[in-house]
Structure 1
Amino acid sequence: MNMSGTLKKLFKDNFSIYILFQALGWGFIVLVNIFFAITFAKYNSRFVSRLFVFVFLGLLWTSIMRQVIHKRRILAKSLKMQLIEFFCITMIFGALCGYCESVFTDYFDLKSSAEKNLTRSSIIISDIFYSFIYLFIWNCIYFIYHYVEKSRRQTTDNMKLEAIVKELELKSIQAELKVIKSHINPHFIFNSLNSIRALIDENPPRARKAVTELSNILRSSMLAEKTEVVPLEKEINIVKDYLELEHIRFEDRLQISYCLDENTLDRPVPPMLVQTLVENAIKHGISKSIKGGQIKITSTIVDGFHMIIIQNTGELDKFPPNEGFGLVSTESRLKLLFGNKAKFSLRQIDNSVEAMVLIPMEVVKESVGYHLN
């Protein structure tokens, strides 16, 4: 449907609602007046004619008043200006409606017995007063309806906008996660291939094992794009392959130890997260020291958090927290997956640098993967 057709449909729907409200409102007034007229024995042809004139003028002037409200675009103005202009319009149209009613009443001789004893000016003032009251009520209902409808539309539009923003954010997050998870340090691959080449003549069995280890790491990196989290045990196996490859290069300069709580092996972690932190420990810690050093990987449960610690020999000033893809990606992934519930810190402890990750325990495993409670 084009824009013109949409606007026509909207106008038609709004006009239908307006007609319905008019019919219900003035119909209610007719029923109330007839009820009291019958109750107080004042129901006669004169009363019916007078009521017809009043309702006819009410419908006429409220319809004209509605057109004025639309042409002046009162509903698009500030709330203060709306109230002022609505009151002024009510006074003007109340006076016009009341005066016309008194003219019709006088011309067709529809005065009640009580009005025949009043002067013409008193009747006009009385008709204007009651017309003002009725039109004031009409305008209040009209104003409230449009105010509520406008608020409802704004709420709906805001919800739609939020949905669009969230969808865009989700796509951005997914794209960022894909980039993060698919990242492998090319220098590591080149170093590994050089180490494997050197082993081919010296130690063929170890060279074959190194090829398998490198293959496992590359396969894990590609599979990481298909899932948000993996069991820690699977992640540790990849880390072990990575460290075995690095041990070929560093030999005795690299010492490795593990302290893994068995209860944490099935806990979900972002894929390649531990491997990325270990890679940074090698790059900024072990490789910076002529004597090499030690890397210790710890996994345990503390105070409702799954705590993972990667500790390496080195100095924090050689392990800049805001430099390099690894540490930035770690913080980004934790925030994207777990929000503010997960924590990451990097600190100096004696002669070692400690990278600590805290993942909330309210992560449950289902058949299709992992998600937060």
Structure 2
Amino acid sequence: MKNKSGLYWRCQIGGWLFYGLVSLFFTLSQLNSNPQFAKNFEPTRFYPRLFISLFTGLIITHLLRLAIIQLKLRPPHIKQKWWLILSCTVIGAYFYGLFNSALVEIFELYDPKRKFTLLQRSYYNLFSDSPIIFAWTSFYYLWHYIQMNTNSEIDKIKLETTVKDLELRTIKSHINPHFIFNALNSIRALVDENPERARTAITELSNILRSSMQIEKIEIAPLERELSIVKDYLALEYIRFEDRLRVEYHINEDTLNLPVPPMMLQTLVENAIKHGIGKQKQGGLVKISSTIYNQKHLLIVENTGELSSDYNMEGFGIASTQDRLKLLYGKHANFELTDAGNKLVQARVSIPI
């Protein structure tokens, strides 16, 4: 509140001083270009009148502002009250002229060659000086409309940011349980068959959960960190698939430090296992590639299989990937799921560097 009050007075005083400087500039210009004006110019009358004009203008416009606030005429609460705004402005202009005339009369600053009464001077000033009051009112409302629109845009941006943050957190909260349940199912299958391997799997799962909990507080993570999660996940799945699962990595070392959405790569690999390798009697290949092309970071996950109705484009894994890329990068990121031929399905993510 104090900041707004201070800003108002800086603008108020600065505006009237600017008006005074403009008036002084035009007067001095007339002195240099108009001999008749220079002959009749009286500095002892002009400068005090200019000071009175600025002083009364400062007081009248401040009272006009208080009236606008009291009558609730500031945006956005004005609606059908334009007539009231106009009335206040006209009254303010009249009193501006009246007070100017009264002070000029009191201090005897009027031109003795002009035989005007106080009332006549006030009407004269009303027509000669009132435009500055109308200009003040126009600037006052223009300022508030600009401020209102600016605040509206700021609130809109804050709302969009909040929505994005909530959406990202919601996506994460779904990803982690989704992954955990699948991992636990893999471990459950090993408990009776091979307890030692099951204990190893539990250790690998704890590593993944630890990494996942650390990632929960950030929106992006280095690719190297994501690869470590994927390797632990594939180690768990290898226990279940054994020789039916083959894994290849084609990772450009320059991409290891590039940021990617957390758990996204693991989600794509999990999708490849579920819809690809899990559907093949003979198992198959999961190939993970990371490279840089045309100033884009390309992440590619390929798996043995065919793109069919089993690949639900609105399923959680694919939908969450598309949502996060859209939220974090907008139109600058891209996700494609295609049939790459040679019985390979390719999930391709393009992220701006």
Instruction: Please give the residue correspondences for 1:248-287 in structure 2 after superposition, counting only pairs within 5 Å.
Output: 248-287=239-278
1:334 maps to what in 2? 325
Deviation at 1:129, TM superposition (A): 4.5
- Structure 1 or 2, whichever has the larger Rg, is 1
Distance 1:64 1:339, change over 3 A: closer
Q: Which residue type is aligned with residue 253 of structure 1? A: R
1:113 CA displacement? 4.6
* Counterparts of 1:354 and 1:210, CA distance in 2: 28
Match of 1:186 in 2: 181
Indicate the residue corresponding to 2:207 in structure 1. Answer: 216
Summarize deviations over 1:257-279 as a string: whole Å, max 9, x none: 33333333343333322221111
Match of 1:369 in 2: none
Please state whether the residue corresponding to 2:184 is helix, strand or coil.
Answer: helix
Q: Residues 197 and 233 from structure 1, CA distance in 2 versus in 1: closer, same or farther, beyond 3 angstroms?
A: farther
> Which residue does 2:147 correspond to in 1?
153
Helix, strand or coil at the partner of 1:317: coil
The one-letter code sitting in structure 2 at the alignment partner of 1:317 is: S
SS in 1 for 2:287: strand
Distance 1:82 1:311, change over 3 A: farther
Aligned pairs for 1:102-113 (under 5 A) are 112-113=112-113
Q: Which amino acid aligns with 1:323?
A: G
Indicate conservation of the 8 Å contact 1:299/1:309, yes or no. yes
2:312 aligned partner = 320
Alignment partners' CA distance in 1, 2:9 and 2:258: 61
Change (3 A) 1:357 1:134: same
Contact 1:257 1:297 in 2 (8 A): yes
Map of 1:175 onto structure 2:
169
Q: Is the 8 A contact 1:310 1:354 kept in 2?
A: yes
> In the alignment, which of 130, 133, 137 is matched to residue 132 of structure 2?
137
CA contact (8 A) 1:90 1:132 kept: no
Q: How big is the shift at 1:211?
A: 3.8
2:346 corresponding residue in structure 1 = 354
Distance in 2, Cα, partners of 1:349 & 1:12: 66
Tell me whether 286-295 or 156-165 shows the greater mean CA deviation: 156-165
One-letter identity of the residue aligned with 2:314: N
Letter in 2 for 1:322: E
SS at match of 1:213: helix
Please state how far the C-alpha of 1:311 moved relative to its aligned partner.
Answer: 1.3
2:193 pairs, out of 174, 198, 202, with: 198
TM-score (normalised: structure 2): 0.68
Indicate if the aligned counterparts of 1:181 and 1:271 stay in contact, CA closer than 8 A: no
| One-letter amino acid of the structure 1 residue matched with residue 187 of structure 2 | S
Contact 2:189–2:240 (CA<8 Å) still a contact in 1?
no
AA matched with 1:287? G
Identity among equivalent positions (%) equals: 29
Cα offset, 1:187, TM superposition: 3.1
**1:206-251 residue CA offsets vs partner (Å, 9 max, x unmatched):** 4554344333333332332244444434433332332233233233
3-state SS of 1:319 partner: coil
Structure 1 distance, partners of 2:61, 2:300, is 75
Root mean square deviation, CA, Å: 5.3
- Give the total of aligned pairs: 336
Deviations 1:64-113 (A, max 9, x none): 9949964776665479947993699379949x959xx79x99xx9x9945
The DSSP-based 3-state class of the residue aligned with 1:198 is coil
Distance 1:197 1:228, change over 3 A: farther
CA change 1:16–1:187 in 2 (3 A) is closer
Q: Residue 124 of structure 1: CA displacement?
A: 8.0
Q: What is the deviation of 1:155?
A: 5.2
1:264–1:300 contact (8 Å) kept in structure 2: yes
The 1:289/1:148 distance shift into structure 2, 3 A limit, reads: same
- In 2, Cα distance between the equivalents of 1:223 and 1:72? 56
Equivalent residue for 1:365?
A: none
Matched, 1:298 2:289: yes
Moved more, 270-279 or 209-218: 209-218
Q: What CA deviation, in whole Å up to 9, does each residue of 1:7-43 have, x standing for no partner?
A: 9x9899979987998899799999x99x99x964687
Report the Cα offset of residue 319 of structure 1.
1.0
Give the secondary-structure state (helix, strand or coil) at the position aligned to 2:144.
Answer: helix
> 2: distance between equivalents of 1:293 and 1:157?
57
Distance 2:167 2:338 in 1: 28
3-state SS in 2 of match to 1:316: coil
One-letter amino acid matched to 1:217 = I
Aligned in 2, Cα 1:129/1:306: closer, same or farther, shift over 3 Å? same
Q: Given that residues 89 and 134 in structure 2 are in contact (C-alpha distance below 8 angstroms), is that contact kept between their aligned partners in structure 1?
A: no
